[in-house]
């Protein structure tokens, strides 16, 4: 379904004058350097044993899979941005209380071509590949006028389509992988299946086995945000050992409010019946994007934070692809990851990690991340945005009879508001989904829930990382009913995104364990897999492995591992 473009709205909200999230958190002093956590490491292709301390429950059987950058140079060439590092896959295989570890670099075209030339020949998010020095001066000059091909360096996440695992980034390419051997398999190009130029690394999964994602497309008709649906696997068909995207379709196309400056997005909202795309004021300057090769600028140079514009929430019925005619708006904000969303008596409740400064993405250069301990690191960290959990409540029954200029949110104890400011337009303010205690942990990111049972449904708990340093230095459990925190935090230890695994006999939402990979800049080869009791948030056991692991991005638990 396609709808017509709407005019972008300049922000007029009083919320923009409130205290920014960064200024609400205390200033850091004496931070240690993260340099050891962003250096190249060797792969461990053959599984090696770990040393178990404590006890890992025997019912936990499967593989904790992690992704992230693991190689930051080829020959004399160095990458500029943390996102540019070559994808490295990690596997902690857990069986009957024992754990083995293995890792492999993704054999992407980018990795292979760079390795063959022993220099960077494929451009990445923050690094532009330089012309081949072996070419003559004219060939080098004209090569700058060629638009570089998108990278297949899929270093962001593990995702699943029709039962197969893929590693994904934010281009049109993915790679199918074997979740047990970590072998790199086929390269998949979204453009060969549907009319999109890219897709996120954060799809959602419905209970019928379908996968939903967001992609974009652009052409003479403008710039569009597209909702993608990949159907469940055909259980009656013979399973072939190859990518299967039969039946993939674009169910909705939303035109950008500003065709020449579309918004950057990293994920989206999904409940049982709706999808919400958040058009935020982090803009991509398409003119610069087309010229960046000539100018020698990398992709992150064309991303602009423009808080003069409101945030727009596009509401879509995920069963029909129909877009609501109501325009939902809020003050300028920046979000990478949603926590959960659910429907409640005619409202859509949306919880997400939000900040007030979208300039931060471009700041994660390797030069900044490798700043020295103390004053240098303090200054960089204190300049960054802090993301905090917020709740927005979107009324689903707005029509011509809806009264103007009064709060439409009637859910008990909710502080978020939604007001129809004129016919067909609703302005929302958020509720802070935390108490002041969270501020001392630097805000939070990388939220995870009991996804299988509670995604798109009412829930009570989420798990995340606290950011008291540039990289996460604590694990947090938040009760969204009471806003109470449980915390795991030890000096010098830096946890990965937590993943919840439910107990087979679970009766409560938080019956299970939370897993995270812990690394440290203080000691060589001191990585361990941490397993917490999800209910009490206390340690059950750990599996120590004598390898260095760089700070990573996202991961999943594969129960079939």
As a whole number of angstroms, the distance between CA 442 and CA 385 comes to 10
**Is there a binding annotation on residue 202?**
yes
As a whole number of angstroms, the distance between CA 41 and CA 519 comes to 13
Residue 288 burial (CB count, 10 A): 16
Closest CA relative to residue 540, chosen from 503, 504, 515 = 515
Tokens matching residue 339: 């926590």
Closest CA relative to residue 130, chosen from 144, 111, 149, 145 = 144
Q: Which helix (H) or strand (E) holds 294?
A: helix 286-295
As a whole number of angstroms, the distance between CA 189 and CA 194 comes to 9
Residue 149 burial (CB count, 10 A): 13
Query: What is the three-class DSSP state of 356?
Result: coil
Main-chain phi, psi angles of 192, to 5 degrees = -80, -10
The DSSP call for residue 93 is E
Taking CA atoms, 452 is separated from 347, 384, 499, 501, 503, in Å, by 22, 33, 12, 9, 12
Contact call for residues 87 and 168 (beta carbons, < 8 A): no
Contact call for residues 560 and 551 (beta carbons, < 8 A): no
As a whole number of angstroms, the distance between CA 191 and CA 199 comes to 10
End-to-end alpha carbon distance in the chain: 38
Contact call for residues 513 and 501 (beta carbons, < 8 A): yes
DSSP 388-404: EEEEEEEES---TTSPS
Contact call for residues 326 and 335 (beta carbons, < 8 A): no
DSSP 404-463: SSSB---STT---EEEEEETTEEEEE-EE-S-GGGGGGT-EEEEE--HHHHTTS---EEE
Contact call for residues 264 and 285 (beta carbons, < 8 A): no
Tokens 């996202």 sit on residue = 554
Contact call for residues 86 and 155 (beta carbons, < 8 A): yes
Q: Report the DSSP beta bridge partners of residue 165.
A: 160
**Is there a binding annotation on residue 554?**
yes
**Is there a binding annotation on residue 337?**
yes
Contact call for residues 329 and 315 (beta carbons, < 8 A): no
Binding residue ranges for Fe cation: 202, 266, 337, 554
Binding residue ranges: 202, 266, 337, 554
């Amino acid at each position: 379904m396609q709808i017509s473009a709407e005019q972008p709205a300049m922000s007029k909200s009083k919320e923009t004058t409130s205290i920014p999230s960064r200024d609400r958190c205390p200033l850091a002093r004496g931070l240690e350097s993260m340099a050891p956590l962003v250096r190249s490491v060797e792969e461990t292709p053959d599984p090696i044993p770990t040393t178990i301390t404590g006890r890992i429950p025997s019912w936990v059987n499967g593989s904790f899979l992690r992704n992230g950058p693991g190689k930051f140079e080829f020959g004399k060439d160095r990458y500029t941005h943390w996102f540019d590092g070559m994808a490295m896959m990690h596997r902690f295989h857990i069986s009957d209380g024992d754990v083995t570890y293995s890792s492999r670099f993704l054999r992407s075209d980018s990795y292979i071509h760079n390795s063959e030339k022993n220099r960077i020949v494929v451009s990445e998010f923050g690094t532009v590949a330089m012309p081949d020095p072996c070419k003559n001066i004219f060939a080098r000059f004209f090569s700058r006028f060629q638009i570089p091909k998108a990278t297949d360096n899929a270093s962001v996440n593990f995702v699943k389509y029709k039962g197969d695992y893929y590693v994904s980034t934010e281009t049109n390419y993915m790679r199918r992988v074997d979740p047990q051997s970590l072998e790199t398999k086929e390269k998949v190009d979204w453009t060969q299946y549907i009319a999109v130029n890219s897709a996120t690394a954060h799809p959602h999964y419905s209970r019928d086995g379908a996968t939903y994602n967001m992609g974009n497309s652009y052409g003479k008709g403008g710039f569009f945000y597209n909702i993608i649906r990949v159907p469940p696997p055909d259980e009656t068909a013979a399973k072939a050992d190859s990518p299967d995207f039969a039946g993939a379709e674009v169910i909705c196309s939303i035109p950008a409010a500003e065709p020449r400056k579309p918004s950057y997005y990293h994920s989206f909202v999904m409940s049982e019946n709706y999808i919400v795309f958040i058009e935020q004021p982090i803009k991509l300057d398409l003119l610069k994007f087309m010229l960046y090769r000539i100018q020698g600028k990398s992709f992150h140079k064309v991303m602009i934070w423009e808080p003069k514009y409101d945030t727009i929430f596009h509401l879509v019925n995920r069963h029909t692809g129909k877009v609501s005619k109501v325009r939902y708006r809020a003050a300028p904000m920046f979000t990478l990851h949603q926590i959960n969303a659910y429907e409640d008596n005619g409202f859509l409740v949306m919880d997400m990690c939000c900040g007030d400064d979208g300039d931060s993405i471009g700041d994660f250069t390797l030069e900044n991340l490798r700043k020295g301990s103390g004053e240098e690191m303090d200054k960089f960290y204190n300049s960054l945005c802090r993301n905090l959990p917020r709740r927005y409540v979107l009324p689903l029954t707005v029509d011509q009879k809806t009264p103007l200029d009064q709060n439409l949110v009637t859910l008990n104890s909710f502080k978020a508001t939604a007001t129809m400011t004129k016919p067909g337009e609703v302005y929302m303010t958020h509720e802070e989904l935390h108490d002041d205690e969270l501020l001392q942990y630097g805000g939070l990111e990388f939220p995870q829930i009991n996804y299988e049972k509670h995604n798109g449904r009412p829930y009570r708990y989420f798990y995340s990382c606290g950011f008291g340093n540039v990289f996460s230095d604590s694990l947090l459990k938040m009760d969204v009913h009471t806003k109470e925190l449980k915390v795991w935090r030890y000096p010098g230890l830096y946890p990965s995104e937590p993943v919840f695994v439910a107990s087979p006999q679970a009766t409560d939402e938080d019956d299970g364990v939370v897993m995270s990979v812990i690394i440290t800049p203080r000691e060589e080869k001191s990585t361990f897999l941490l397993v917490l009791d999800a209910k009490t948030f206390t340690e059950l056991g750990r599996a120590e492995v004598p390898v260095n692991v760089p700070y990573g991005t996202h991961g999943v638990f594969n129960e079939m591992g």
